[in-house]
């Protein structure tokens, strides 16, 4: 049965590859990207609707949520795939450290603003996380803005761990109402990810190394599709974090509820 799938970060890389595979399989895709030209090009290629939003501007995220709620009476899958590893610490016009905002605050805000539609649709929320969530993350509720001991990799890992904690909380709070949520690490991807980053990771991605050693965006996209269209033999474990296609235990502090409350306060969201 065709599903309506909203994919952020769909203008390039894994997101664009996933959009192509989903359209090929007959699903209805709504592509969301930061670059107006690149997102339109993908959408025109596939004949799908698209919206543009820069997650470094939360006003644009709020507009995007209103547009999606108006355009999509039903959303079967929300794929929070957009993300970035940046460079020197930068504070956005919204007043938040940019890595924290783009990778965590923005998808948290978008998901919560779409929550009524997602619950009515008994939807699945898929978060593109990273193994940086277990390798380089140290989430501190008193320093969510990464003001202390900042590094691009640590800030990125923190945001990806926060996405995992967010995923668990979505499950705990809303699974009984029909909502499911998973987070996954797609692995190293030979894409344009991080090429504009002002960090050592960006320097690496501007060399031939990723294209020699990492998987293609198409292969990474198939991991995302395993959650969207699981086979009868596969069972999506709501609330879980996946690596290599299997749930993986992630040692994380039990601060999911506190992080949720802190985030809703930062975003001035009405508590549900």
Q: What share of the chain is helix, strand, coil (3-state, %, to 5)?
A: 45, 15, 40
Write the CB contacts of 235 (distance below 8 Å, at least 6 apart in sequence): none
Q: Dig out the tokens for 74 from the structure.
A: 């039903």
Q: Which residues pair with 29 in a beta bridge?
A: 5
Instruction: Answer for the pair 117, 75: CB distance below 8 angstroms, yes or no.
Output: yes
**Helix H or strand E encompassing 159:** helix 152-174
- Alpha-carbon gap, residue 267 to 65, rounded angstroms: 14
Concerning whether 156 is annotated as a catalytic residue, the answer is: yes
Whether residue 188 contacts residue 204, with contact meaning beta carbons closer than 8 Å, is answered with: no
> Which one from 104, 156, 241, 242 is the annotated catalytic residue?
156
Measure the N-to-C terminal CA separation of the chain; round to a whole number of Å: 31
CA dihedral 19, 76, 180, 136 (to 10 degrees): 20
- Residues annotated as catalytic are 156
């Amino acid at each position: 049965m065709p599903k309506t799938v909203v994919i952020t970060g769909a203008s390039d890389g894994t997101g664009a590859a996933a959009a192509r595979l989903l359209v090929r399989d007959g699903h209805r895709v709504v592509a969301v990207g930061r670059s107006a030209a690149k997102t339109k090009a993908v959408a025109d290629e596939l004949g799908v609707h698209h919206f543009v939003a820069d997650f470094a501007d939360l006003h644009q995220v709020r507009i995007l949520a209103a547009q999606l709620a108006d355009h999509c009476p039903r959303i079967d899958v929300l794929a929070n795939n957009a993300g970035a590893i940046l460079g020197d610490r930068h504070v956005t016009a919204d007043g938040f450290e940019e890595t924290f905002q783009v990778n965590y605050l923005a998808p948290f805000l978008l998901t919560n603003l779409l929550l009524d539609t997602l619950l009515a649709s008994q939807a699945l929320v898929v978060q593109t996380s990273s193994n940086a969530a277990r390798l380089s993350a140290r989430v501190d509720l008193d320093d969510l803005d990464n003001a202390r001991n900042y590094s691009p990799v640590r800030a990125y890992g923190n945001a990806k761990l926060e996405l995992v904690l967010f995923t668990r909380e979505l499950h705990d709070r809303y699974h009984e109402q029909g909502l499911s949520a998973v987070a996954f690490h797609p692995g190293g991807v030979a894409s344009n990810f991080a090429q504009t980053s002002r960090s050592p990771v960006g320097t690496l991605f501007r060399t031939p190394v990723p294209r020699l050693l990492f998987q293609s965006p198409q292969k990474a996209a198939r991991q995302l599709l395993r959650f969207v269209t699981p086979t009868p033999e596969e069972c999506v474990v709501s609330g879980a974090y996946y690596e290599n296609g299997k749930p993986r235990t992630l040692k994380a502090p039990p601060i999911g509820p506190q992080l949720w409350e802190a985030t809703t306060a930062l975003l001035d969201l009405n508590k549900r």
